[in-house]
Structure 1
Amino acid sequence: MSPDLALGTYRCRNIPQATVHAIACGATWIDTAPNYHHGRAQPQLQSVLAGNLDLRVSTKAGFFTPDIATAARDAGVLTPAEAASGHCLTHRYVAWQSRRNATELGRTPDLVFVHNPERAARPHDAIAGAFTALEVEARAGRIGSYGVATWTGFEGAFSVADLLDIATRCGGPGHHLAAVQLPVSLVMLKPVAQALDGTGPLAEATAAGLNTFISAPLHGGELPAMVTDELAQLIDPGTTPADAALLVTVSTPGVNHVILGAGRAQHWQAAQRVLALPPLPAKTLHEVVDVLGA
């Protein structure tokens, strides 16, 4: 089964317009966060979500804007030092932010990611505090489930097995840990190499029944200019650099949802065409990994 597309709102300049294009091309998820688009991403999604009840939404807790920091300090859930840091995963803050997310979105989030816990001084302790808060929210029906969104966390700070262990300690065998989010691209190739060997976060998440959300498949839009014609032809003869780069990500074993921050209709249509292509064989993915030295 091929992955599906999700709209990522981190880099979107016109979120409502991007959402229209994403839905038209089959996107089933929107991924956002309270700090995205200078804190304006979630409120901009409210009318879109109200008019598309089948569209699922994931958001996050961890990073915050100065305005959110002020509100959280006034609510007594951030200390001055925590507010100055721009990132917090304490139990009290995560619970408060999760409820604020729902208010801004105008609906119950399907999924709340603990955002970049590798930034914490003690990542495992930070994850445990956040998971404890999110278990309460999930059992109360205020969120659907939770997960971890990371950039470098799976490179040594924690593993999928660690996350499952922490979730079980915080929520028992019926815990609500449901997903992980991580970057996979021609720039971030290590998860591809690991998945081909049946190891690493994608393989571990799949084995545990967790959903995988892939961020930055085109590395913030920079990859098409970085892919040479020779590399594109190695990946899929006759394809464009952008399509070749995306095809590697969507062909990687264990990928469920691919998050794109595209704002233009033609970019979504191109992504839709890539997803309709047969996945690359493992032999080709191995060749790409070998050529790029992942």
Structure 2
Amino acid sequence: MRPTHPRIIFGLHRSRHERRLLTRALELGIQAIDTSSNYLGFQSHTTLANVAGDLLPRLTVSTKVGYFPGAQHSLAPDHLRTAAEQAASDLGREPDVVFLHNPEHSLIEAARDDLLEAACSTLADACAQGLCDRWGISSWDPRRLVVPAQRGLPRPDVLMARAGLLVSADILDAAERLAERLRPTELWGMSPFGGSTAAAVWDGFDSRIFLREPRTSTPIQAAFRAAYRLPSVGAVAVGTDNPDHLGELTDALNLEVDDNMIHQYRELLRTRSQPA
């Protein structure tokens, strides 16, 4: 078995919940998985317990609450508390991290800060009471979450936001500003390929320009490695149904990013995002 790679989290958003994938992840030293209460038609937790319950003690499990059956999203404290309790029950163990899932979906501008503070306090309290080891915020669009500095939100243990070459300048900047305001212990990235490595965009340019030694990698490996600098994150959640793809990504961790190219790319993104 390879040494543990704490910087890769096996994400289950677009991955089948198959034992062979979890077993392969463990073989590669990937010991963290990320899911959500609403994944797999709200069956992710129970499916994991059924197909890989004996593997879960060997894995660090993060999950998310905020979406509910009937295509509803809610920040109501009682809903979030119940969801956190249900996650532990369905998994057969307390999650290591419970995220507030895309809170921007239910923020009403007139009461934005109060709603966010109540939701965060609910998860912080659930964590203090033993329903999870840590809590955090996972946001697809953090622009509405950049709260005024004087607001006293609980400090999350983890903040997760989109990462990678396909993330826009304003989303990257908002994630960094939110991290500066909330001061989480860890910052994680997600969706480094914007949904799929088979998308046409990945045939349009050679992402290896972001590496110091491009000839030692594939474009997919280069794009994945660059995601750790866009924004600067300590871990990236990535999903796949191909065990070989997991191996390719773990090998990418040995590659060196050209930080000067990353800086130039960020500047280019900012320039293109400015109105003409």
Do both share a fold (TM > 0.5)? yes
Residues 3 and 258 of structure 1 are in contact (CA less than 8 Å); yes or no, is this contact kept in structure 2?
no
Mapped partners of 1:253, 1:140: distance in 2: 32
- Structure-1 residue corresponding to 2:83: 97
Residue identity over aligned pairs, in percent, reads 23
Residues 21 and 263 of structure 1 are in contact (CA less than 8 Å); yes or no, is this contact kept in structure 2?
no
Q: Does 1:159 align with 2:139?
A: no
Deviations 1:151-188 (A, max 9, x none): 112x2x12277698311xxxxxxx6x201111011110
Deviations 1:194-222 (A, max 9, x none): 59xx95345x27x9352112110111114
Secondary structure of 2:137's counterpart equals strand
Residues 15 and 41 of structure 1 are in contact (CA less than 8 Å); yes or no, is this contact kept in structure 2?
no
Secondary structure of 1:60's counterpart equals strand
Q: Does 1:61 align with 2:65?
A: yes
Compute the displacement of 1:189 (Å). 4.5
Mapped partners of 1:186, 1:56: distance in 2: 27
Mapped partners of 2:198, 2:104: distance in 1: 25
Mapped partners of 1:281, 1:89: distance in 2: 40
- Structure-1 residue corresponding to 2:20: 17
Query: In structure 2, what residue type is equivalent to 1:45?
Result: L
- Structure-2 residue corresponding to 1:213: 188
Compute the displacement of 1:51 (Å). 2.9
Q: Does 1:115 align with 2:101?
A: yes
Compute the displacement of 1:129 (Å). 2.1
Residues 6 and 31 of structure 2 are in contact (CA less than 8 Å); yes or no, is this contact kept in structure 1?
no
Compute the displacement of 1:285 (Å). 0.8
- Structure-2 residue corresponding to 1:241: 219
- Structure-2 residue corresponding to 1:149: 138
Compute the displacement of 1:261 (Å). 0.9
Task: Identify which range, 131-140 or 28-37, moves more after superposition.
Answer: 131-140
Runs of 5+ consecutive residues of structure 2 not aligned to the other structure: none
Relative to its length, the structure with more helix (as a share) is 1
Runs of 5+ consecutive residues of structure 1 not aligned to the other structure: 67-84, 168-174
Q: Does 1:34 align with 2:37?
A: yes
Runs of 4+ in 1 over 4 A off after TM superposition: 160-164, 191-195, 290-294
Q: Number of residue pairs matched?
A: 260
TM-aligned CA distance change 1:116 to 1:209, over 3 Å? closer
TM-aligned CA distance change 1:163 to 1:90, over 3 Å? farther
Task: Identify which range, 141-150 or 117-126, moves more after superposition.
Answer: 117-126
Secondary structure of 1:113's counterpart equals strand
Mapped partners of 2:150, 2:87: distance in 1: 23
Compute the displacement of 1:190 (Å). 2.7
Compute the displacement of 1:243 (Å). 1.4
Secondary structure of 2:132's counterpart equals coil
Residues 34 and 60 of structure 1 are in contact (CA less than 8 Å); yes or no, is this contact kept in structure 2?
yes
- Structure-1 residue corresponding to 2:251: 273
Residues 189 and 228 of structure 2 are in contact (CA less than 8 Å); yes or no, is this contact kept in structure 1?
no
Aligned residues: CA RMSD: 2.9
| Equivalent position to 1:106, from 67, 87, 92 | 92
Mapped partners of 1:89, 1:114: distance in 2: 9
Mapped partners of 1:16, 1:253: distance in 2: 32
Task: Identify which range, 261-270 or 248-257, moves more after superposition.
Answer: 248-257
Secondary structure of 1:213's counterpart equals strand
Residues 6 and 30 of structure 2 are in contact (CA less than 8 Å); yes or no, is this contact kept in structure 1?
no
Query: In structure 2, what residue type is equivalent to 1:256?
Result: G
